[in-house]
């Protein structure tokens, strides 16, 4: 049965037709024999027995006695009907059995070979049209229909993979757009702060020209940062593909860059920021823009949740650079894995103010730089966020 079930469609229909023809021939012969006997039984009733037996005695090589067919008016109505019915069967049995055999062959062929795979394919097509790809075509026969079902299943699997790839692309583009909007806010906040300070103090001559030029210089640096950031992001399809642009970074240089932003951030949030940079003659080799972006994300989180004071501690070495940001808020209430998820927000009001990407982007950039992001709580209260960067070989 296994071999018959796995026969090809062509061989199967030939087998069914051969069986149907054999059965039709056998039944035709049997019915013909029955019809002949029935005829003889009916006609014998109306034969002159003595004349028939005399004719039998005269049989020879060229003569054979047969029971003659009586005329219709001699037979009773029932015998006449039965005799004519036998004539009908004798004439049309082959035709009737051929048609019945053909119909039976078609029915069995469809039932055994086509019904199940066609139902599987029709159901699969309907589900694909409804964008439901979590199903499986289960038809294991090793014939043409089985091969067709397996090809359909391969097509479904490829469609599912393509669908997942499209969704991943959409999610990556969404993440990239959100990251651009998130990371560009820090330089914009600094520019806005300096603009407000210049607008407030410069007309009243409460600020000397040196301070004003220093602020304008810092504004120019932030604009250059935004230009470089936008150009970098323009070429990306996802955050993971962002390339590092390493360079030598000294402790003094990093202190000046961070301190230049703290003055504006302190005034904007009304909180005190203390920057502590460990003196070191060794220069770190890494991507300064990524390091500053991570620092700004950590500062933004600390300023948002801290109460009065934020502490930033920077340690620069040859092989490693670490930036630790501590606040005096309530600290983290969930584990680091949850906090560093994309679009994380502790509550609805919080999510209205920021995208929930700061910790996710910081963790991602630290890992791209060979380091890690460590989140925890201080024993005295408040959150402690430490970004560790490894030297780029």
Identify the CA nearest to 250 among candidates 287, 284, 293, 291: 284
Give residue-wise pLDDT tens across range 321-375: 999 999 988 888 777 677 777 555 544 334 334 445 678 888 888 988 999 999 8
Q: What angle is formed at CA 90 by the lines to CA 89 and CA 91, rounded to 5 degrees?
A: 90
Contact, 361 vs 182, CB < 8 A? yes
Give residue-wise pLDDT tens across range 324-339: 999 988 888 777 677 7
For tokens 């960067």, the residue is: 389
Q: What is the pLDDT of residue 70?
A: 84
Q: How far is residue 51's CA from residue 47's CA, in Å, rounded to a whole number?
A: 8
Q: How far is residue 335's CA from residue 343's CA, in Å, rounded to a whole number?
A: 15
- The pair of structure tokens assigned to 281 is 């003659």
Least confident range from 87-91, 195-199, 273-277: namely 195-199
Q: What is the pLDDT of residue 348?
A: 34
Q: What is the pLDDT of residue 344?
A: 55
Give residue-wise pLDDT tens across range 147-180: 888 888 899 888 888 888 888 777 766 766 666 6
**Residue 53: pLDDT band by 50, 70, 90 thresholds?**
confident
Q: What is the pLDDT of residue 233?
A: 59
Give residue-wise pLDDT tens across range 59-103: 777 777 777 888 888 888 898 899 899 989 888 988 999 899 889
Contact, 384 vs 375, CB < 8 A? yes
Q: What is the pLDDT of residue 349?
A: 37
| Mean predicted confidence (pLDDT) in 109-138 | 87
Please tell me whether the overall predicted TM-score, pTM, comes out greater than 0.75 for this model.
no
Q: What is the pLDDT of residue 5?
A: 76
Q: What is the pLDDT of residue 356?
A: 55
| Mean predicted confidence (pLDDT) in 196-222 | 71
Give how far Cα 288 sits from Cα of 102, 246, 293, Å.
83, 7, 9
Please, what is the end-to-end C-alpha distance for the chain in angstroms?
67
**Residue 181: pLDDT band by 50, 70, 90 thresholds?**
low
Q: What is the pLDDT of residue 320?
A: 92
Contact, 176 vs 357, CB < 8 A? no
Q: Looking at the chain, how many residues does it have?
A: 393
Q: What is the pLDDT of residue 239?
A: 62
Q: What is the pLDDT of residue 264?
A: 73
215 backbone dihedrals φ, ψ, rounded to 5°: -65, -40
pLDDT exceeds 90 at position 386 = yes
Contact, 375 vs 383, CB < 8 A? yes
Q: How far is residue 117's CA from residue 140's CA, in Å, rounded to a whole number?
A: 10
| Mean predicted confidence (pLDDT) in 189-215 | 71
Determine how β-strand 372-377 pairs with β-strand 320-327: unpaired
| Mean predicted confidence (pLDDT) in 109-123 | 88
User: In the 3-class helix/strand/coil scheme, how is the chain assigned residue by residue?
Assistant: CHHHHCCCHHHHHHHHHHHHHHHHHHHHHHHHHHHHHHHHHHHHCCCCHHHHHHHHHCCECCECCCCCCCCCCCCCHHHHHHHHHHHHHHHHHHHHHHHHHHHHHHHHHHHHHHHHHHHHHHHHHHHHHCCCCCCCCCCCCCCHHHHHHHHHHHHHHHHHHHHHHHHHHHHHHHHHHHHHHHHCHHHHHHHHHHHHHHHHHCCCCCCCHHHHHHHHHHHHHHHHHHHHHHHHHHCCCCHHHCCCCCEEECHHHHHHHHHHHHHHHHHHHCCEEEEEECCCCCCEEECHHHHHHHHHHHHHHHHHHCCCEEEEEEEECCCEEEEEEEECCCCCCCCHHHHCCCCCCCCHHHHHHCCCCHHHHHHHHHHHCCCEEEEEECCCCCEEEEEEEECCC
The residues, ordered by sequence, that sit 6+ positions from 358 with a Cβ below 8 Å of its Cβ are 182, 297, 298, 300, 301
**Residue 244: pLDDT band by 50, 70, 90 thresholds?**
confident
């Amino acid at each position: 049965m296994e071999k018959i079930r796995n026969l090809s469609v062509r061989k199967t229909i030939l087998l069914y037709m051969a069986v149907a023809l054999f059965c039709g021939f056998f039944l035709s012969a049997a019915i013909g024999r029955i019809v002949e006997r029935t005829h003889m039984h009916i006609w014998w009733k109306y034969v002159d027995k003595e004349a028939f037996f005399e004719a039998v005695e005269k049989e020879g090589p060229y003569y054979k006695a047969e029971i003659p067919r009586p005329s219709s008016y001699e037979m009773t109505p029932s015998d006449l009907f039965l005799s004519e019915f036998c004539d009908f069967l004798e004439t049309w049995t082959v035709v009737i059995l051929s048609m019945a055999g053909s119909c039976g062959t078609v029915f069995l062929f469809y039932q055994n070979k086509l019904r199940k795979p066609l139902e599987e394919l029709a159901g699969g097509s309907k589900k694909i049209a409804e964008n439901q790809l979590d199903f499986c075509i289960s038809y294991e026969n090793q014939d043409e229909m089985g091969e067709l079902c397996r090809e359909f299943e391969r097509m479904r699997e490829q469609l599912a993979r393509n669908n997942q790839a499209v969704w991943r692309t959409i999610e990556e583009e969404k993440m990239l757009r959100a990251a651009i909007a998130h990371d560009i806010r820090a330089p914009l906040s600094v520019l806005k702060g300096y603009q407000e300070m210049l607008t407030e103090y410069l007309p009243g001559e409460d600020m000397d020209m040196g301070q004003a030029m220093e602020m304008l210089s810092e504004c120019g640096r932030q604009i250059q940062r935004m230009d470089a950031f936008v150009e970098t992001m323009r070429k990306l399809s996802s955050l993971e593909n962002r390339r590092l642009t390493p360079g030598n970074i000294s402790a003094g240089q990093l202190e000046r860059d961070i301190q230049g932003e703290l003055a504006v951030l302190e005034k904007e949030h009304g909180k005190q920021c203390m920057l502590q940079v460990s003196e070191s003659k060794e220069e770190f080799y890494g991507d300064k823009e990524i390091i500053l972006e991570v620092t700004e994300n950590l500062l933004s989180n600390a300023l948002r949740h801290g109460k009065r004071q934020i502490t930033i501690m920077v340690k620069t070495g040859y092989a490693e650079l670490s930036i630790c940001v501590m606040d005096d808020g309530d600290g983290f209430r969930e584990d680091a894995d949850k906090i560093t998820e994309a679009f994380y927000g502790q509550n609805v009001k919080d999510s209205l103010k920021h995208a929930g990407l700061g910790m996710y982007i910081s963790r991602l950039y630290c890992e791209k730089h060979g380091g890690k992001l460590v989140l925890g709580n201080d024993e005295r209260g408040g959150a402690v966020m430490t970004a560790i960067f490894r030297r780029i070989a």
